[in-house]
Amino acid sequence: MFKKILIANRGEIARRVILACRELGISTVAVYSEPDAAMPWVRLADEAYLLKGTSAVETYLNQEAIFRAARTADVDAIHPGYGFLSENPVFAAACAEHNLTFIGPKPQVIQFMGSKAQARELAVTCGVPVVPGLDGAGLSDVELADAVEAIAYPLLIKASAGGGGKGMRIVYSAAEFHDAVKLARGEALSSFGNDHILVERYLREIHHVEIQILGDQHGRVLHLFERDCSIQRRHQKIIEESPSPAISDDLRARMAEAAVSLATAAGYENAGTVEFIVDGSGSFYFLEMNTRLQVEHPVTELITGFDLAAWQIRIAAGEALPFTQDEIQRRGHALECRVYAEDPAQGFLPSTGVLTTYRPPSGPGVRIDDGVESGSEVTPYYDPMLAKVISWGQDRLEAVRKMERALRDMVVLGVTTNIPYLLSILGQEAFRSGNTTTNYLEQHMAGWVPGVPADEDVLLAAAIFEALQSGGRRARHQDVSEEVETRADPWNDQTSWRNVQGV
């Protein structure tokens, strides 16, 4: 097993990996940008190193600075979390060149499955259903327009190397096609350095269902059931759950078998997710594979009891999966809501500022994955997600009710959040009945406005109380622009009474 791991990420996933390492007896090293210097996950790590700068390019995407920190801290491995460098095959290969273990799949697998075109070809070879479409590689815009005549409109154009909705366009008629292709190619090139696009039939009433898989270095690939991620805004998930309310046991089994077949054919190792779409007739189609841990992994952990972050580390260290597929059982229902610093009533405009009060919920069946605290500053430099609230119940209704209670108990002052928006979704009959297609927000939440805010005097009193409880916190800084003396922090906890050693 590794002795020390560097987490090349920030926020709640950095904290999540640090906690997994602690349970495995592994020392942890955090890296942080200047705006993140006072964040709680920085203090939680055994060591922390400053990456000079503010933007992601200067800091969390700066491979040279991250390897400098790894060398200074003398770590054995790097955990990339998700986002940033997690699906970068060049970074994964460079880890090996620096005698470090990359906690994830092999670089060549990341590169292969990161291409939607290549992944689609592999799916076809494995007999996994794909959406009718074609590969735009080597075709001019005119040739592509002629070729898609065989596919019924509407069409979906998407970047082969893309993700997160970038390089993606929906086209409803041939008159729109040329301009949409031009825009999609341009966005794909600027975002991913590659203008390779795919064109597929656009399916309207669909569910986004993904299968969690684990593969070890000894040839075994297993699945841990599915997650439904259909509630999305701008192709970004905001509510996820497991099991999916949209599929039958038979469909679940067939999708899981397809996911395992695809991952096995790819020679996949570590945690990964095979994503599908399911139409109204119950047919499913391969979408893509994410070669990393997913943001929504906690719902799988709650229904199966497996620590996915810990198993990522165990697999990377060479351990074999000691259980069979039949030994992986699911229990109950889990739900995750992503709490963002944003204003849904203003087009999901990000909200920045200092969290004057942050009080996460607790109680039976509620889990919080976060990377902030009262006094934390929400900056414009990174993703505005503050926390993930996860609930578990014996059935779906119980999980939803626990989530509603948790979100109402959560206090976040200083920035605007999407908590009222999430509560509105959960309270609708369409959601409670499981009618959660990917166009849910357009159908049911268009024109949404928040309700009456809480009493200002109560909020002010809460803010004053929290300010009195949380004074005196200071962050420690270690600059890895030069070789520096490392030290461990003997006061690793996150209470208000923690003493912070200055430098």
Q: Give me the active site residues, please.
A: 292
Here the tokens at position 284 are: 């499913």
Q: What angle do CA 48, 53, 55 make, to 5 degrees?
A: 110
Residue 234 zone, left/alpha/beta (φ > 0; ψ -120 to 50; rest): left
Whether the CB-CB separation of 214 and 270 falls below 8 Å is answered with yes
> What is the distance between the alpha carbons of residues 230 and 234, in angstroms, rounded to a whole number?
12
Q: What element of type H or E holds 357?
A: strand 357-359
DSSP code at position 66: H
Exposed, middle or buried: residue 149 (CB in 10 Å: 0-12, 13-18, 19+)?
A: exposed
Tell me which residue of 470, 375, 368, 367 sits closest to 413, measured CA to CA.
Answer: 375
Tell me which residue of 458, 236, 256, 484 sits closest to 359, measured CA to CA.
Answer: 458
CA quadruple 412, 413, 417, 420: dihedral sign: positive
**Peptide bond before 154: cis, by omega within 30 degrees of 0?**
yes
DSSP code at position 314: H
Q: How far is CA 59 from the centre of its chain?
A: 19
Q: Which amino acid is at 160?
A: S
Burial string for 164-192 (b: 16+ CB within 10 Å, else e) reads eebbbbebeeeeebeebbeebbebbeeeb
Residues belonging to the chain: 503
**Close Cβ partners of 146 (under 8 Å, ≥ 6 residues apart):** none
Residue 329 zone, left/alpha/beta (φ > 0; ψ -120 to 50; rest): beta
Task: Provide the strand spans (E) within 216-332.
Answer: 221-233, 236-242, 270-279, 284-290
